[in-house]
Each structure stands twice: as C-alpha cells, then as structure tokens.
Structure 1
Amino acid sequence: MTIANWCVLAACMLPAATVGLAKLASAKLPSGAGRYDNKQPRDWAAGLTGWQARANAAQMNGFEILPLFIAAVVLAQQGHGDQGRIDTLALGFIGLRLVYIALYLANVDALRTLVWFAGVGVSIALLAMG
C-alpha cells in the first residue's frame, strides 16, 4: 500500500475519531445528564453544545470532504502521476485536516475556513495529476 492509500484510510477514520473526543468527554457524566447514549446517538448529538457540538460538526465536515479526497488519490494514481508527489500531497491533506479539526474545536472560524480551502486545493492538485 502506498503512503497515499494509508492517508485515505486515515481520512476515513478521522471523522469517527473527531466525534469520539466528544463521546469520550461525556463518559464521566451521569447517565441522562449529557452522557453519550448509544441507543439514541442522534438525540445525544442534537443536544451537544460548545466544543463537543463543534467536534460533531467537524465530523460531518470530514465525511463531506472525504469523497473528493478519495477520488483525487485514486484518479491521480490511475493517471500514473508521480507517486512521491501524490504521497506528499496526501500527507499534506491529512495534516491540514488535523489542523482544521484543532481549529474547529478551538472555535477559530476564519483561520479554520482558510485551512479548509487549502485542503480542497490539495485535493484539486491531486485531481489535476490524474
């Protein structure tokens, strides 16, 4: 497996890890007082506030950007683009996603948006290699 393929796997796991932070933080709460409820996960998520709500939103955004990134990596590799460059761009995308998540959790909206655009730009650069 190439580094870019490992990055696709990482990108697929990031949304679950992001909301997992919110779930983990709620584990210390008493049942019925905001603790994660696996029987009603959507109801639990709807009641989130603060950084936990932002973690859930970052999770959703991670799922939204995922198809573009996966398609970009696959098409760049199918187009026989330079694998070293594909790997570098894919690693850059993962790095940007990690920064994006941190900025989202910290509620730094303007910089977060710039980082999001950079991630889209990386995916477009990958697509152009195809």
Structure 2
Amino acid sequence: MGPTRFTVAYWCVLVAALLPYACAYLAKAGGLGKPRSQGGFDNRDPRGWLARQTDWRARANAAQANSFEALPLFIGAVIIAHQLGAPQTRIDILAVLFVTLRAIYIAMYVAGLPTVRSAVWAGGLLANLAILLSAVR
C-alpha cells in the first residue's frame, strides 16, 4: 500500500462535521453575554432556551439538527468511495459540492426560504448518492 494522504474529500468531512456547531453558535448569537433575566442565553438549560427561540434562531437550531442528521450518509459515502477505489477527483468534486450545498442549505433555512431550502437539500442528497455510487463500474 502506498503513502496515504488526507484527501480533499476528507477535509470536506471535517468541514461538514463542523457545520452543525456553526449553526448552534448562530442560534445562540445575540443571546450570548446577555443576562438570562433579559432573555440571554441560558447555559444552565441550553436545550430549553433553544426550544423557546423563534424565527431565525429557531431555524438555525433546526438547521443544526438537520446538519447532524446529514453527516452519517456523507461520511459513509466518502469512506466507501475511497475504499472501493472510486476516482479521487470525482469524490473530491462531489464532496466539495455537498459541503457547498450544505452551507447554502443552512443559509436558506435561517433565511426562511423553505422551497429553495428543500431543493438544495435534495441536491445534497443526490451528491451523497453520487459519491457512494462513484465506484460502481
């Protein structure tokens, strides 16, 4: 076996794994540093505080949950494609496409654009399937 390297697709896995945390930060933004008595973020009950949020903060929290839900298929697809010897350039391009679509998805979710958000989500799912099936010959 030759030397191994951290591929672009593996870097995309790392970025995709960090996206839910960015959503969590976004959901809490504005509430950080404010006293709880004034509606500030409550670190004693973070899930309860997030559950009481509305509008864009609630949507950012929902985007966080969906980002965690999307991770297993993406991680599995990348690993399986690598293991089966799929063309590296194809895996890399599709992984970058997936991460880009996830970032757009989050933006559309927070902005409250459900139709566009759903279309972008479907594109991300198709990118995942393409990664997974990229080794099929």
Which residue of the partner structure matches residue 3 of structure 2? none
Moved more, 58-67 or 16-25: 16-25
Distance 1:59 1:32 in 2: 26
| Residue 124 (1) aligns with residue 124 (2) | no
Q: Deviations over 1:74-106 (max 9, x none)?
A: 001001001111000000001000100000010
Letter in 2 for 1:91: V
Q: Does the CA contact (< 8 Å) of 2:63 and 2:109 recur in 1?
A: yes
Letter in 1 for 2:68: F
| Residue 115 (1) aligns with residue 120 (2) | yes
| Residue 99 (1) aligns with residue 77 (2) | no
Distance 1:65 1:111 in 2: 17
TM-score (normalised: structure 1): 0.95
Which residue of the partner structure matches residue 21 of structure 2? 16
**Between Structure 1 and Structure 2, whose CA radius of gyration is higher?**
2
CA positional deviation for 1:28: 4.8
In angstroms, what is the RMSD of aligned CA positions? Answer: 1.1
CA positional deviation for 1:31: 2.0
Letter in 2 for 1:116: W
Q: Does the CA contact (< 8 Å) of 2:90 and 2:134 recur in 1?
A: no
| Residue 77 (1) aligns with residue 82 (2) | yes
1:46-85 pair list within 5 angstroms: 46-85=51-90
* Structure having the larger proportion of residues in helix: 1
Letter in 2 for 1:16: Y
Letter in 2 for 1:126: I
Gaps of 5+ in 2: 1-5
Q: Does the CA contact (< 8 Å) of 2:27 and 2:57 recur in 1?
A: yes
Moved more, 31-40 or 42-51: 31-40
Q: Does the CA contact (< 8 Å) of 1:45 and 1:53 recur in 2?
A: yes
Moved more, 53-62 or 37-46: 37-46
Secondary structure of the equivalent of 1:27?
Answer: coil
